[in-house]
Amino acid sequence: MTDFDYLTRRRLLGLAGITLASLSLPRLGFAADAHAGHNVAQEPAGTGEFIRLDAPRKLKLAVNLNAVCLAPVVIAHGQGFFTNHNLDVELVNFGNSTEVLLEAIATGKADAGVGMALRWLKALEQGFDVKLTAGTHGGCLRLLSAVNGGVTKLEDLKGKAIGVTDMASPDRNFFSILLKKHGVDPVRDVEWRLFPADLLGTALERGEVQAVSGSDPFMYRLIKSGVAKELSTNLVEEYANLSCCVVGVTGKLVREEKRVVAALTQAILEAHDYSVQHPEEVAKGFQAHALNTSVEEVQAILHDHTHGHHAVGAALTQEILTYITDLKTVEVISKSTDPLEFAKEITVDVFS
């Protein structure tokens, strides 16, 4: 499939997310709160009526302030999404490992966090007391090959090398799954090589690797620079409508203050819906936190993601089940783990 086909598909999926979100939501009219300055036309699907807490509640939300896909969450504070729900949210910029982040949530050093499901699942298998309350969007991951190289489809990567920044990264996990489905054993047929993110393009140009995988903005920039072409993404085949990023909350907070968790989750999803309708505003607001990016770049990347797609309740459990089942096939999740029981254990419907 050509670059044009894939990029067009990503944009069509993004637009489809907007359309489906608007068609599937049960209520019309603006959020029933006088302070709802962002004018979200309706609450995200599956989250019920607008939730405003009776008393202010302080929370710490761990995020990567430089991750473009989290731009809606980052700007949610300034746009009033949290305060509309009577939430006083402190954003904690978390640059440590996923295990440390999940430990921080599990031990209450942070109340919640947003990150990639395929990064969290192996760590959650170890028993962290963290529950997933929603999938926020899809489309963060890309697999690229050299523009002038001979790799044009996944099957061409058999016996080849792929550059990654981390052996436990979500992109390595996802594209391992996809390669396996296309007859390429990601453990035995492919060599994964480590490079710093800013050297992936150089490694590709020099022929040290035949493909590279990662997330935006690095992957987006490699395509725009003409160095690489898009070979695949996490918006293909049965994964087209799956969330890649999720909201995780300390289990204690879920058990003791479910309505607070519901309000926080709803605010985060509202911010993502807002980004679908107002990507330029989100991109502008993100500039206060972003490094080495531009409004135009952030806006283009947001268009490539499916920020209008959210999974909660049974839909979230099903999406997580899909990932867990697939991760077992590529030897990431333990053989002894029951996918359905694990998916039920780590997801929670805070809106029921």
Residue 13 is predicted with a pLDDT of 44
Q: Place 16 in a pLDDT band, splitting at 50, 70 and 90.
A: very low
Q: How far apart are CA 239 and CA 7, in angstroms?
A: 16
Mean pLDDT of the chain: 87
Q: What is the pLDDT of residues 196-238, one digit of tens each?
A: 988 999 999 999 999 999 998 889 999 999 999 999 999 999 9
Q: How far apart are CA 330 and CA 185, in angstroms?
A: 8
345 or 149, higher pLDDT: 345
Tokens coding 62: 């761990």
Residue 97 is predicted with a pLDDT of 66
Q: How far apart are CA 31 and CA 149, in angstroms?
A: 51
The string of DSSP codes covering 263-323 is HHHHHHHHHHHHHHH-HHHHHHHHTTT-SS--HHHHHHHHHHS-TT--B-HHHHHHHHHHH
Q: What is the pLDDT of residues 281-309, one digit of tens each?
A: 999 998 888 778 899 999 999 999 999 99
Is it the case that residue 20 has pLDDT exceeding 80? no
Lowest mean pLDDT among 88-97, 174-183, 333-342: 88-97
Tokens coding 105: 């949530």
Q: How far apart are the first and last CA of the chain?
A: 42
Give the range with max mean pLDDT: 1-10, 25-34, 105-114. 105-114
